[in-house]
Chains A and B, each alone.
Chain A
């Protein structure tokens, strides 16, 4: 897996400047409009675009065919994409902590609890979005996958809202905010794991032409 992951990290590196600049600009923007910590919601999702760039690039350059002829199993190829997605999401989260840390020197509204809450929401949204869009990247052609990728952000927001409303039936979310979003995070982890298994099954059966 190390070789294919390194290949994707090279692809991510070529887009890293755009991602970092976008996150910093977004951080400044949010600091005026909302809480700076809200950047933690957007950063992990925004950082994962390189995964879809790599999937498109693999197909365009025929690396997707070449790699199957190499001593790399189809399961490893999928496992690598999911690991790469998680790595990018974590890198995005950590990058977003930099402006949050800087602003915390001047603001008082950034607390450890708000950072944890927004981080949990961000990772949950990222896992739901990846859970939807990653298997679709192997089911559909690149154009359709791009559309699914963009729509998956909206879908993940919808899933989180739906889950929060559901939790609210049993537990007053306003009073148990962190617990409620920990439940959402657990559901997102389950969704991402199930999605990985589905993607492996899809890819095992797929003809690569």
Chain B
């Protein structure tokens, strides 16, 4: 069964950003320069947090606007990036309604969640989880 990363309850988020660090750590990197998940406050930390990550669209807008077919549909929703095809135009970033296409400044390519679930282990508050689709 294909799985997708889901935001289960953003109200439980404490804004620790552990998921962001986990995502870059998959590539053995510190920091969050290559992270596909983002946590920010809802206009001030006292109001809580928003967790932004690819929601695995079945017919993804980001893939539709890609001029080089670098983004192909993933089984279970969302996309997979073929970096060799990507020209770094950034249209996918503009296209995503929820802002879940991030940008790797060093490689000048998009960063999009592949729904591997590595970050889930590092969320102690069960804000995020893997769902079968």
Real binding pair: no
Binding site for B on A (CB under 8 A): none
Binding site for A on B (CB under 8 A): none
